[in-house]
Structure 1
Amino acid sequence: SEKVEVIPLWKSNNCLSILKIIHYIMRIKPDIVHYNLSLSVFGRSRIANFIGLTLPFITRLLGYKTITTMHNFPETINPETAGLKRNIINITGLFLATKLACSSHIVVVLVRSYINIVRRRYNKNTVLIPHGAWFTEVKPNYNIAPTILFLGHIGPNKDLQLLIDSYRKLKQQPKLRKIRLFIVGAPHPIFPEYIKMLKRVDGTEDIAYMGYIDNKEIPKLMEKVGVIVLPYKACTGTSGVVHLLAAFGKPIVASDHLEFRELKKEGAGIVIVKHKVEHYTKTLKKILLSNNMAKQIGKANRKFAEKRKWSIIARKYLKLYQSLIK
């Protein structure tokens, strides 16, 4: 678009390159600076993340109207999911960095349950704008296919071993011997070591590790998928994967976490199970062997995606921008 210009300014784990953002802001003098942040967005380095998360504070201090969309908070994650050990220094550092990141004029959260935490601890001027959903222009296919899909960044909070163990038990079932497992996504930049485990299982027992795929390839992939599985040990905010794939009308099975419960309550087609192999195996078997059940859950996902299409979410942000520059 002629109205959108993308300018790469910083590199992961590079403190000096992160500070280039401030230099550029001072040069172009924007009406609004909108940061889209998570606790580990700037890389594996604690120093780089701390410096990056101070940007909203510095920007506001320089006199610019500032908004922060914050995806997660120390109170809602384990420090380990941000690449940190649980100790007083890291916990204090996370709190201070989050306080600075939330020092914008307005903070946007994506999970309704986070609002009270943020208003109480970080910024009273906090609002909810949900995550947007992709692919609402694609016609959904509610027919079940004998393929299980995991998609997303891969790190310690994604329990792929549980998924593989459950898949192997399913494959022992006479009616499910032809099922396949697709694992799609790159290891999280903070945890590159997970690639070894993925390469070890790729090509065995009808398991395919496909690595990262571009968004334009997702509709073709979803034609082969019957059910999406999100076996998370912990969530680091609302699920981007749910919003990415809901419009395709496929059922989703996920572990029992606040963020998934909230999405289900708001209409998403998610079956929530205990984070145990036997519970995943039992639920996946029911869905894979029941077209009616899969279709019913899938239709809920499609309806959920329609309510959160990006055009609707964009209008919410536009109103927010207009309120800030009045």
Structure 2
Amino acid sequence: MAYIGDFINHGKSLKTSGTSIIILLSLLEDVDSIDVFCPQVNEDIEEFEIPPKVKLQEFYTYDDSISILRLLKIKWKNYDTVIFNMLPTGFGNGTLANAIALFVPILLVKFFRRKNIKIIYHNSVFTNDVRKLGYNSTFDKIRSFFLRIVERILFKNVATFVLLNLYKKRIDDAIGYNKVHFLNWKYLETVPTLYLNEIINFHDIKTQDSNIPTILMHGSWGPQKNIELGLMVLKKLKDEGEEFKLVISGGINHHFPDYEIKFKEILRSYSGLIDEYLGPITEREITKIFLEASLLILPYNAPGGLSGVLEQAIFFEVPTIAIDFPEFREQAAGVGFVRLANSVSDIEDYVREFLMNWDAYNARQRRINISKKITQATDNIRVLLRND
């Protein structure tokens, strides 16, 4: 097999999902070897042992169109399956680099007649409101117009997997016949942190005990999130006398560097409320923050696709309050500890209710069944091996 895209210590937006794919595929007996073609190594890295079947090649550079174009030179016919892990902005901040990256699988299928190409595609102009995600300049509108054309070609010609049934339906409704399929991504987002903590083969693990509830807000922060909404609600509850510890973690979405000033101003405004701001955290630390969390709050303006943070909360069975978006509704279907809010008052009521019932909740020992969930995630990923 071959894989093209972000991988741990190599890349930005999709390194968690890319690492999940590689680790699980490497565990399958049907997979003999995986060649990973990824970006150059990041400045900040964490220790990671490459799985035995995996060979890593730092093949291209973010925003470097020429290095990305070199992907066409690889002898793709030597592989049974080639997987591209992509989103419209996954190969840099520049338009040209991302456009070339999207055309590579199209060219491989249409002109080189490769039948072994598959794409995992995380969001699209056909599935997401790019303006609400922060791409609202005149140039962004022009770019979205051309992206719509490219994605139409991509979806109609290349086997593409999206991570929500909702997105498959939106693409069907928008363009008619296509080669887009649904890939069940349940539990995959936790694979790298379990692997790094050497607990991926455990049967189960126990959550951490706590004297007072720890409320977590975690993510890659940018204009698509609304951290101030969460902080405003929690300040009101704190002023009413509610007791809790507030932890915020995660760095700034690299596509919106200007947001950092606003983000720091918000944190400064609520500094008396925030007990810990951890900043960007490593994949290894994901396990710790979720095992210690009593409640997760996801304050979004708009979802950018399947929420990796929500998937991690579901895996670790952390009670969660999120905005009632269709994406979250699909992810949380049948999950009783995720509550979806339609208003600020809903969020207030749900948090207050959780805090009122904290003693009873905390008295129950929670054990997270790892083996069952990893088995399900592995079964889900097998669909990528089929060439029908």
TM-score, L = length of structure 2: 0.72
Which region of structure 1 is more displaced relative to structure 2, 148-157 or 7-16?
7-16
Match of 2:16 in 1: none
| 2: CA distance, partners of 1:47 / 1:265 | 38
Offset of residue 96 of structure 1: 1.7
Match of 2:128 in 1: 77
Matched, 1:51 2:100: yes
Offset of residue 279 of structure 1: 2.8
Choose the corresponding residue for 1:40, options 78, 89, 105: 89
Match of 1:316 in 2: 380
Matched, 1:243 2:311: yes
TM-score, L = length of structure 1: 0.84
Matched, 1:187 2:266: no
Alpha-carbon distance change, 266 to 39 in structure 1, aligned in 2, over 3 angstroms: farther
Match of 2:80 in 1: 31
Matched, 1:254 2:322: yes
* Runs of at least 5 residues in structure 1 that lack an aligned partner in the other structure: none
Offset of residue 181 of structure 1: 2.1
Contact 1:57 1:103 in 2 (8 A): no
Matched, 1:175 2:242: yes
Deviations 1:130-179 (A, max 9, x none): 21412574524386742211111111111011111112112112232xx2
Amino acid at match of 1:160: I
Offset of residue 221 of structure 1: 2.3
Contact 1:72 1:236 in 2 (8 A): yes
Match of 1:13 in 2: 63
| 2: CA distance, partners of 1:268 / 1:11 | 43
Match of 2:24 in 1: none
Question: Secondary structure of the equivalent of 1:7?
Answer: strand
Alpha-carbon distance change, 140 to 73 in structure 1, aligned in 2, over 3 angstroms: farther
Offset of residue 294 of structure 1: 5.3
Matched, 1:146 2:210: no
Alpha-carbon distance change, 11 to 132 in structure 1, aligned in 2, over 3 angstroms: farther
Question: Secondary structure of the equivalent of 1:314?
Answer: helix
Matched, 1:204 2:256: no
| 2: CA distance, partners of 1:32 / 1:142 | 41
Query: What does 1:194-233 align with in structure 2 at a 5 Å threshold?
Result: 194-200=259-265, 201=267, 204-207=271-274, 208-233=276-301
| 2: CA distance, partners of 1:175 / 1:67 | 50
Question: Secondary structure of the equivalent of 2:228?
Answer: helix
Amino acid at match of 1:321: L
Alpha-carbon distance change, 100 to 245 in structure 1, aligned in 2, over 3 angstroms: same
The share of aligned pairs that are identical, in percent, is 22
Question: Secondary structure of the equivalent of 2:107?
Answer: helix
| 1: CA distance, partners of 2:121 / 2:336 | 22
Matched, 1:124 2:186: no
Contact 1:227 1:288 in 2 (8 A): no
Question: Secondary structure of the equivalent of 1:75?
Answer: coil
| 2: CA distance, partners of 1:109 / 1:31 | 21
Amino acid at match of 2:163: L
Amino acid at match of 1:124: N
Alpha-carbon distance change, 281 to 36 in structure 1, aligned in 2, over 3 angstroms: same
Question: Secondary structure of the equivalent of 1:182?
Answer: strand
Question: Secondary structure of the equivalent of 1:175?
Answer: coil
Contact 1:77 1:236 in 2 (8 A): yes
Match of 1:93 in 2: 146
| 2: CA distance, partners of 1:217 / 1:294 | 24
Alpha-carbon distance change, 255 to 16 in structure 1, aligned in 2, over 3 angstroms: same
Alpha-carbon distance change, 318 to 222 in structure 1, aligned in 2, over 3 angstroms: closer
Question: Secondary structure of the equivalent of 1:74?
Answer: coil
Which region of structure 1 is more displaced relative to structure 2, 79-88 or 110-119?
79-88
* Runs of at least 5 residues in structure 2 that lack an aligned partner in the other structure: 1-50, 195-199
Which region of structure 1 is more displaced relative to structure 2, 28-37 or 199-208?
199-208
Amino acid at match of 2:125: P
| 2: CA distance, partners of 1:141 / 1:254 | 21
Contact 2:76 2:82 in 1 (8 A): no
